[in-house]
Amino acid sequence: MPTSQQLSALDPSKLDAFMGKAVMDMGAAMHATLVVIGDKLGLYKAMAGAGPLTPAELAAKTNTSERYVREWLNANAASGFVTYDAASRRFELPPEQAFALNELDLPGAYHIISACFKDEPKITQAFRTGEGVGWHEHDANLFFGTERFFRPNYQNNLLSSWIPALDGVVDKLKRGASVADVGCGHGASTILMAKAFAKSRFCGFDYHSGSIEYARHVAGRDGLLDQINFEVASSKSYPVNGGYDFVTFFDCLHDMGDPTGAAGHVLSSLKPDGTWMIVEPFANDAPEQNHNPVGRIFYSASTMICTPASLAQEVGAALGAQAGEERIRGVVQAAGFTRFRRVAETPFNLVFEARP
């Protein structure tokens, strides 16, 4: 129990404000598990456009237990995910929430959060030892959640604004270019580009064999294996194949143990007039400028995922997910690139162009 002296030193209004914030965070953390459950069971999809539903009606639509669904619905109502009409005792998923949860694939982020909780013992031990935790050592929810969370952002920006902002790249891709997508994960970015530019040929590289296997499966399903080749390779050793017109890194440079070494390999793999596009999490250069809701997400993810991934590799530069433009510029220029500029940004990403 705190002593009276300790209590007298506290500002009651500040304590109340912090406790209120902590209670909100506890609710958000607990509710995150329910978002994952609702996603896996198709509860949000079943509610989309269905109008007001009783727990029994939703349970019948999804072949689930009414008692569990009732509790889940009340938690979602308390969280503002669904609305509740007390007179009819029915719950409804508003169209805005339905769009975010089902079309923008928001639950992907919650699968990432789920993986972080499962991996907490590994990260706690890493705090003690200073050692890294490789991407491949995480719970599989991380791999699938990451692809789902980032894919809508790529779908909404990559073809419409990011690539068009690069100097001359669209024309090359339309004519037929050689492209390397490094750190491609499940291949969402690679496949999106391939579908848009049928005359170009794409190589997707990632050191994680499980992700490459999944990417090949999706490419095969979509009939793209003649246009895309997915290979297991690191950012410092992927094959040059005669040189690439275009190399892309999506939200992965900061995860690499030796980002300068990776940048050097990109330089050696580019044709003389080639372009490297680097997509990174949005960050200002000063840490205090990132102490905001988006920075909170990225710093937390960086602590659990990005920094441990880098520390598990050679060099262990540990840029972190909030590296910022100047640190990325320093990495790129140290590798020998002479041209570097920011070409686009969103609330979640910075997009850079680097050229020899």
The predicted pLDDT at position 208 comes to 97
Region for residue 132 given its phi and psi (left: phi exceeds 0; alpha: psi -120 to 50; beta: otherwise)? beta
Q: Which residues pair with 344 in a beta bridge?
A: 351
Q: What is the mean pLDDT of residues 222-235?
A: 98
Half-sphere exposure of 71 (CA within 13 A, CB side): 7
The predicted pLDDT at position 343 comes to 98
The predicted pLDDT at position 355 comes to 98
Domain boundaries, the chain: 4-103, 107-152
Instruction: Judge whether residue 1 has pLDDT over 80.
Output: no
Q: What is the mean pLDDT of residues 327-352?
A: 98
Q: What is the mean pLDDT of residues 17-44?
A: 97
Q: What is the pLDDT of residues 159-170, one digit of tens each?
A: 999 999 999 999
Q: What is the pLDDT of residues 116-150, one digit of tens each?
A: 999 999 999 999 999 999 999 999 999 999 999 99
Measured between alpha carbons, how far is 266 from 249 in angstroms, rounded to an integer? 10
Measured between alpha carbons, how far is 84 from 90 in angstroms, rounded to an integer? 6
Are the CB atoms for 236 and 265 separated by under 8 Å?
A: yes
Q: Which residues pair with 321 in a beta bridge?
A: none
The predicted pLDDT at position 181 comes to 98
Q: Whole-prediction pTM value? A: 0.94
Are the CB atoms for 346 and 306 separated by under 8 Å?
A: no
Q: What is the mean pLDDT of residues 310-326?
A: 98
Alpha helices in 200-315 (DSSP H): 209-221, 259-269, 293-301, 307-311
Q: What is the mean pLDDT of residues 312-327?
A: 98
CATH tag, 4-103: 1.10.10.10
Q: Is 62 exposed, middle or buried (0-12, 13-18, 19+ CB in 10 A)?
A: middle
Q: And the tokens for 118?
A: 């499962």
The predicted pLDDT at position 232 comes to 98
Q: What is the pLDDT of residues 57-116, one digit of tens each?
A: 999 999 999 999 999 999 999 999 999 999 999 999 999 999 999 999 999 999 999 999
Confidence of residue 32 (pLDDT cuts 50, 70, 90): very high
Q: What is the pLDDT of residues 59-68, one digit of tens each?
A: 999 999 999 9
Are the CB atoms for 255 and 279 separated by under 8 Å?
A: no
b or e along 152-189 (b: 16 or more beta carbons within 10 Å of the residue's beta carbon)?
bbbeebbbeebbebbeebbebbeeebbbbbbbbbbbbb
Q: Strand 270-281 to strand 349-355: parallel, antiparallel, or no bridges (unpaired)?
A: antiparallel
The predicted pLDDT at position 236 comes to 97
The predicted pLDDT at position 8 comes to 75
Q: And the tokens for 77?
A: 């109502």
Q: What is the mean pLDDT of residues 292-302?
A: 97
Q: CA geometry: angle at 38 spanning 37 and 39, to 5°?
A: 90
Does residue 356 sit in helix, strand or coil? Answer: coil
Q: And the tokens for 188?
A: 């969402």
Half-sphere exposure of 1 (CA within 13 A, CB side): 2
Measured between alpha carbons, how far is 284 from 350 in angstroms, rounded to an integer? 10
Confidence of residue 9 (pLDDT cuts 50, 70, 90): confident
Q: Which residues pair with 277 in a beta bridge?
A: 248, 353
Measured between alpha carbons, how far is 229 from 147 in angstroms, rounded to an integer? 18
Averaged confidence pLDDT in the chain: 97
Instruction: Judge whether residue 190 has pLDDT over 80.
Output: yes
Q: What is the mean pLDDT of residues 328-353?
A: 98
Confidence of residue 278 (pLDDT cuts 50, 70, 90): very high
> What residue type is assigned to position 221 of the chain?
R
Instruction: Judge whether residue 256 has pLDDT over 80.
Output: yes
Q: What is the mean pLDDT of residues 256-266?
A: 98
Percent with pLDDT over 70 in the chain: 98
Instruction: Judge whether residue 207 has pLDDT over 90.
Output: yes
